[in-house]
Amino acid sequence: MAKVADAALRELPGTALRAVRVSGTVLGHALVFGPGALGARLRRRPWAPAGERLTALLTSLGPSYIKIGQLLSTRQDLLPERVCAELGRLADATPPPRRAALEGAVRGAYRGRTWPFAAFDWTPVATGSIATVHRAITLDGRRVAVKVRRPGIGRVMRRDFRLTALAMGAMRHLPHLRSMPFKVMHAQVGGAILRQLDFEAERTALGTLRANLREFSWIRIPAPLPELCAEDVLVMEYVDGSARTAPGPLSAEARGAAARRVMTAVYEMLFVDGLVHCDLHPGNLYIQDDGSLVILDAGFVIKLSEPVRASFADFFINMAMGNGPLCAEIIIESAASVAEGCDLGGFRAELTGLVAESAGARSKEFSLAKFAGRLFDIQRRFGVYPVPEFAFPLLSLLVVEGIVQGLDPELDFQAEAMPVLRRRNMPRVSAGS
């Protein structure tokens, strides 16, 4: 305990400096956007939407806040729909570090060990806010992908974590926010963001995904190479193949098959294994010429608790079956908090109506984003707040939805889940459903 306290004390100056920089960035954005927004309001003219301004601010603040914004984009129970839509466009790609800093970090990771690469391409093939990815060839001739953590990014993100903990601690004292589970939300969401710094955890996640999905011969996940990994470096096999998640020259039949495979893989991870890949955007999900899927980057893979996995599976299958009353009961039972004096009868009635409208809709008719927006609006108005973990499967499905709709607009988004749910789960359904 004393060591933890000493470490916290040593970090105080750095955290304070980070607080000053964050405050300065926020103030700078306020000075830039404030007068224009005020002038537009006085002249009753349109101005940059709040979502655009918030997105620009979070991008300036760095990776911790970008990731928070990406998660907040799924929480329309907390933010207006138009703000969530803008946050959903946040990209975590930033310019790569200088080569000198990058090379110093990689060579430093292997200090005291034999340099394992016969060739190393210092120009990244992919660049994110937390890491860059490079091609390399090992001493024994294997082609590998090398993921390198940005120098100093861990220190910055841990300081941001402390600052957001203080901010959420202050917000819970506001009268209209007292019922919000800020402490649990910060621990789960903030903790998930920090875990993206842990390359050992990502290496484990890659192995787990490979083991869980091994029965699907059409899924490829690169194998990590533990003997070549270091604390700040993750080495995995390099996966070849022309990748596309847009229709491109694929036939309509091939696009439909690819869309069904994407949904099968996502549903298997989510409903069976309780693993949520929150970052399956087109840069991490590839469709090869033969229709195989390639899933990359397991840095943002979340393991759901068993109660949340079971509740989400129960909710989804009953939503697809149009069983609104049971959907309402599942949400009430699994809620993080329910406002005092909540009209549960009214909540049940509105949610039942929403599920009835959505059941059986095809991909081109059913929008998960719109459904989630209306669901969260109902929860917000009645004060039924979901557990923070529910943000993760929703984020995963929202990202994948766009890919699926681009491949096959006719795909029955909900029905594709039924074989997985029926085969692997024994969901709670009401008699006669």
**Domain ranges, ordered by start, for the chain:** 2-87, 94-127+130-240, 242-433
Contact 257, 292 (CB under 8 A): no
Which range in 138-147, 277-286, 404-413 is most confidently predicted, on average pLDDT? 138-147
The whole-number average pLDDT for the span 426-431 is: 51
β-pairing verdict for 219-220 and 293-295:
parallel
Q: Is 70 exceeded by the pLDDT of residue 405?
A: yes
Q: Residue 241's pLDDT is what?
A: 56
**Amino acid found at 54:** L
Report CA Rg, the chain: 23
The whole-number average pLDDT for the span 406-410 is: 81
Q: Residue 424's pLDDT is what?
A: 63
**Amino acid found at 138:** T
151, 101, 160, 150: which is closest to 126 by C-alpha? Answer: 150
User: Percent of the chain having pLDDT more than 70?
Assistant: 71
Residue 113 CB: number of other CB atoms within 10 A? 9
Q: Residue 49's pLDDT is what?
A: 59
pTM above 0.85, yes or no: no
Cα 407 to Cα 219, 269, 289, 370: the distances in Å are 17, 21, 14, 20
Of 30-34, 71-75, 186-190, 245-249, which gets the smallest average pLDDT? 30-34
Higher pLDDT, 248 or 395: 395
Mean pLDDT of the chain: 78
Bridge partner residues of 131 (DSSP): 149
Cα 423 to Cα 268, 417, 418, 427: the distances in Å are 10, 10, 8, 10
The confidence band for 431, taking pLDDT boundaries of 50, 70 and 90, is very low
Q: Residue 103's pLDDT is what?
A: 94
Of 86-90, 268-272, 287-291, 339-343, which gets the smallest average pLDDT? 86-90
